[in-house]
Amino acid sequence: MIDIKLIRENKELVKENIRKKFQDEKLPIVDEVEKLDLEYRACKKKGDDLRALKNSKSSEIGLLMREGKKEEAESIKKEISKYGSEIEELGKKEEELELEIKKKMMIIPNIIDESVPIGKDDSENVEIEKFGEPKVPNYEIPYHADIINKLNGLDKDASARTSGNGFYYLMGDIARLSSAMLSYAKDYMIDKGFIYCIPPFMIRSDVVNGVMSFAEMDAMMYKIEGEDLYLIGTSEHSMIGKFKGEIIKEEELPITMTSYSPCFRKEVGAHGLEERGIYRVHQFEKQEMIVLCKPEESMEWYNKMWKYTVDIFRNMDIPVRQLECCSGDLADLKVKSCDIEAWSPRQKKYFEVGSCSTLGDAQARRLGIRAKGENGNYFVHTLNNTVLANTRALIALIENNYNEDGSITIPKVLRPYMGGKEKIEVKMS
């Protein structure tokens, strides 16, 4: 949510930002908010003036009573009684206008960084840099689900019976490899000075509304029937929500945390070959990182954060690239975002394995997260980044470390988490 001062002082900037995001249908909302805001401020001023007048007259009554001028005092009392009902009506009107303004302000997208490339959708995202040489071996790499099946590591038939499409059982060394990646990612972030956290896996609607747009919520989140609770789609939601309504001492910034959680998402996506495996699923595990910092430090942290993910994947012998998200691909709360994509030697292309975003003060403004500085309180900036999502990282690791005999070479950094094991091999029956 942007500061309403932007609409008061630079309405055209807000409109131009909407055009850059190709959301022209939202342009009238800016004018609607401006009109409501003028009405709200006029209503508030009238109410404040009447309250001040009422207080002044009340003081006058006391003085007249002490002077024995009862008739004059009673006359003023009658006059004051008229103010009471009008003040009450104005107060209700203020609340109604304030709610209506907030409702519309929640729909207006955040102001994007001027470095964001302009484009309509993800097809116009821009490759910034590659890390590691993408290779294609001189032997065939099967579909990841077929590789894992041969290693007795996947059972989607059983999960279809217990839970339906979009779920899976990971087993044996493959399940252990998944856990090894998450443990390595966790330890990597702890070594970088991030505080490890396991958050709640369900959050209330006021937190959901604070961390994401309504459209994202409807597309992603599972609602717990009969309760004001949602299953998290990423631990960023509950991690940022942890600071809801708090005033943080400036000297405590930046707050850097890394969190583990399962993640639950409604959207499975397109059907077809890729859906046989674990690329798009309803449930997965993820190591996340979040940062709360001073506004002037947010871009510095943004660049640190996505590089951490690059390092982790390169340390697992996986080539990756950074892809800058264009304006039309940015969620409404985001100021700037990039995807980290891993190389798929089977498909001979890259695919998304993580996303890093800075949201400016949008989440903090919605959730009331402020810092106490020398010159008063201000809204902090919030950032989040995928350290590692187990299913997509597992696909990338398997494909890039697949051997012609069907075995998987375990990257050196993961071997301590696998009991020193160097390979996962096909067991001959």
Query: Does 395 lie in the same domain as 312?
Result: yes
Q: List, in order, residues 6 or more apart from 346 with CB less than 8 Å away.
A: 141, 142, 143, 144, 399
Q: Is the pLDDT of residue 82 over 90?
A: no
Query: Domain ends where: 73, 105, 137?
Result: 105
pLDDT digits (tens, 9 = 90+) for 225-249: 999 999 999 999 999 999 999 999 9
Give the whole-angstrom CA distance, residue 255 versus residue 240: 11
Query: Does 94 lie in the same domain as 26?
Result: yes
Give the whole-angstrom CA distance, residue 155 versus residue 165: 12
pLDDT in the model for residue 307: 98
pLDDT in the model for residue 66: 67
Please tell me what DSSP assigns to residue 162. H
Residue 195, classed as helix, strand or coil, is strand
Query: Does 335 lie in the same domain as 230?
Result: yes
pLDDT in the model for residue 76: 67
Q: Which of 219, 247, 244, 245 is nearest to 233 (CA)?
A: 219
Q: Which domain holds residue 76?
A: 4-105
Give the whole-angstrom CA distance, residue 422 versus residue 401: 11
Residue 117 lies in a domain: no
Angle of helix 11-20 relative to helix 27-66, nearest 10 degrees?
150
Q: What is the mean pLDDT of residues 33-58?
A: 86
Q: Which of 207, 302, 191 is nearest to 254 (CA)?
A: 302
Q: Is the pLDDT of residue 215 over 90?
A: no
- Structurally, how many domains does the chain consist of? 2
Query: Does 133 lie in the same domain as 32?
Result: no
Three-state SS across 119-146? CCCHHHCEEEEEECCCCCCCCCCCCHHH
Query: Does 396 lie in the same domain as 262?
Result: yes
Query: Does 185 lie in the same domain as 317?
Result: yes
Report the predicted TM-score, pTM, of the whole model to 2 decimal places: 0.89
pLDDT digits (tens, 9 = 90+) for 349-404: 999 999 999 999 999 999 999 999 998 999 999 999 999 999 999 999 999 999 99
Give 22's pLDDT tier (boundaries 50, 70, 90).
very high
pLDDT in the model for residue 272: 45
Please tell me what DSSP assigns to residue 42. H
Residue 111 lies in a domain: no
pLDDT digits (tens, 9 = 90+) for 109-131: 999 999 999 999 999 999 999 99
Per the rule left: phi > 0, alpha: psi between -120 and 50, beta: everything else, 360 is left
Give 57's pLDDT tier (boundaries 50, 70, 90).
low
Q: Per-residue b/e over 301-330, b at no fewer than 16 CB within 10 Å?
A: bbebbbebbbebbeebbbbbbbbbbbbbbb
Query: Does 143 lie in the same domain as 59?
Result: no
CA distances from 74 to 36, 45, 53 (A): 39, 27, 16
Query: Does 292 lie in the same domain as 176?
Result: yes
Query: Does 152 lie in the same domain as 19?
Result: no
Query: Does 166 lie in the same domain as 25?
Result: no
pLDDT in the model for residue 77: 65
CATH number of the domain residue 20 falls in: 1.10.287.40
Please provide the distance, in angstroms rounded to a whole number, between the alpha carbons at the two ends of the chain. 59
Which residue carries 């038939």 as its tokens?
157
Q: What are phi and psi of 320, to 5 degrees?
A: -140, 170
Residue 116 lies in a domain: no
Q: For residue 65, count other CB atoms closer than 10 A to its CB.
A: 13
Give 47's pLDDT tier (boundaries 50, 70, 90).
confident
Greatest C-alpha distance within the chain: 109
CATH number of the domain residue 206 falls in: 3.30.930.10
